[in-house]
Amino acid sequence: MPLYRYVKSVAIFSPTDLPARAGGIRGLIGKVLPNVFIVVGATFLTTVAYPFVTYQLSNHRWQQGTLLSPVPEIEVIQAKGIVSPLSEPMAPPVLAAQNQQPEIVGDVDLTKASNWFPSAPSTKTRISKISHYQLSIPKLKIDQAVVQIAGDSLNKHLIQYAGTALPGEYGNTVIFGHSVLPVFYNPKDYMSIFSLLPTLEKGDEIYIDYDGIQYKYIIDSYSEVKPSEVEILEQRFDRQALTLITCVPPGTYLKRGVILAYLSKL
């Protein structure tokens, strides 16, 4: 009777097989990594670099349309006696060489309107039966955004700076709004609502609904100031002005972007 014996076979690899497999993995990584870097770079350009480029272009466009005066405007109107500071005389200007403190302090909560112009004099809240009203900017798709008079929390609504003129009055109605990188812009989110202010142009319209009356303002100019330059908060009683303020460049707190508009008859 024949005898059978079963022998378990064992696969035997050639010594050249393993390096070939390792080389294949390295080759795959070499093909994938460049694509990953391209995607990451494109994402960076879209979310960070592109908004800064468009911001610079918008700022350059406004500067081209502005004529420089040999005498600062604030000195002219002060001489005419038509400027009223908010409460007390403004602090003397500080030269850049004298100001050694940084413009931005990491511990400052800039969702509070009171921290935007630290050197501004204290103001008294005007007595008004109206505590809130609405602001709309059709070009930016801002519709009936709530403005609180003399408030402080910019993450809940826009804020009208205390002591400034009420809508429709002679003087300067000053409104603060928060901003972020334009890629995150949402006209219904008060943390990003003013992100696109620098993209507005002369002649664009702003509407305010206050105490049952709608006021139409026409944009005249855009400028940028340092947090120490509080002259933009002063009141001029020869005009009915509206000033919108946010932080610029987008997503930073280096300066304050300022839109100036004047009341127009509907």
Examine the pLDDT at 145 and tell me if it is beyond 80: yes
Tell me what percent of the residues of the chain surpass a pLDDT of 70: 59
CA 194 distance to own-chain centroid = 5
Confidence of residue 250 (pLDDT cuts 50, 70, 90): confident
pLDDT reported for residue 253: 85
Q: Tokens 């930073």 — which residue? A: 252
**Measured CA distances, 246 to 17, 249, 253, 259 (Å):** 64, 9, 9, 9
Spans of all domains in the chain = 46-90+103-264
The winner for highest mean pLDDT among 41-50, 77-86, 125-134, 164-173 is 164-173
Q: Report yes or no: 134 and 126 within 8 Å, Cβ to Cβ.
A: no
Instruction: With 0.75 as the threshold, say if the pTM is over it.
Output: no
**CATH code for the part of the protein at 46-90+103-264:** 2.40.260.10
Give the model confidence (pLDDT) of 70-101 as tens digits: 444 545 444 444 455 554 443 333 333 333 33
What is the pLDDT averaged over residues 51-67? 55
- Checking if the pLDDT of 195 tops 90, the result is yes
